[in-house]
Amino acid sequence: MRVRQHQFLYQLTFLPTIFPVNCYIVEEENEFTLIDTALPNSYKKILHFAKTLNKPITKIVLTHAHGDHIGSLDSLKNELPHAKVYISERDARILGGDHSIDKEEEPFVLRGGLPKNIKTKPDVLLKDGDLIGSLTSIALPGHTPGSFGFLDNRNNSLIAGDAFHTRGGFAITGQLRVLFPFPGMATWNKKVAIQSAKKVQSLGVTLMATGHGDLLENPNIERLL
């Protein structure tokens, strides 16, 4: 596991040279918020790292319900039974094994590593604009219908999930990057993803923290649109 820090944010990267999968720890005054849970075997290193910093993980927040973002959820919840789990209402259905689409989401279908047999039930169903400590939840549908990002109000950094990626070149999800095509292949609706990117452009993001790839300061979103 590789760790990189930027102010209040710790990026934890698994398989960094092969297929980088990121999750994030956001530091609050007395606690940590974990955003995404990476791969099924990632939980031990996540817990060990948090322990070295001597603060408890009290919240587990999910950007969306793909397998490489919820892989260690059940294991972490087992180890941290009092931690609250947050996900959007729409992707909570996917997390629970319902992979159907709504009428207004047609003709597109869900793609990517859709979860099966997840035992953990979310405690909080997120809506656009909800506050989670220092974070504001931002609805960013496109990669999945219920994808969310989280804007740190202290410095305007954005943990974007797979709404963007920086591996293989900065891109909006659904935009093909030959060196890392996988987020595009797993995207539900590319047109909606572009609309979400336009929403992010208006936020004045100072740091882009994605599900795959390195941290990117002062991202130039306009050139992607």
| CATH number, span 2-224 | 3.60.15.10
CA distance 200 to 208: 10
- pLDDT for 112 equals 95
Q: Is the dihedral of CA 26, 32, 33, 34 positive or negative?
A: positive
Q: State pLDDT tens for residues 63-84.
A: 999 999 999 999 999 999 999 9
- pLDDT for 176 equals 87
Low-confidence ranges of the chain (pLDDT < 50): none
Single-letter amino acid, residue 136: T
Side by side, which strands form the sheet with 57-61? 2-6, 9-14, 21-27, 32-35, 57-61, 84-88, 124-126
Asked if 179 and 129 touch (Cβ cutoff 8 Å), the reply is no
- Domain parsing of the chain, residue ranges: 2-224
CA distance 78 to 19: 27
| Residue 26, strand partner residues | 9, 33
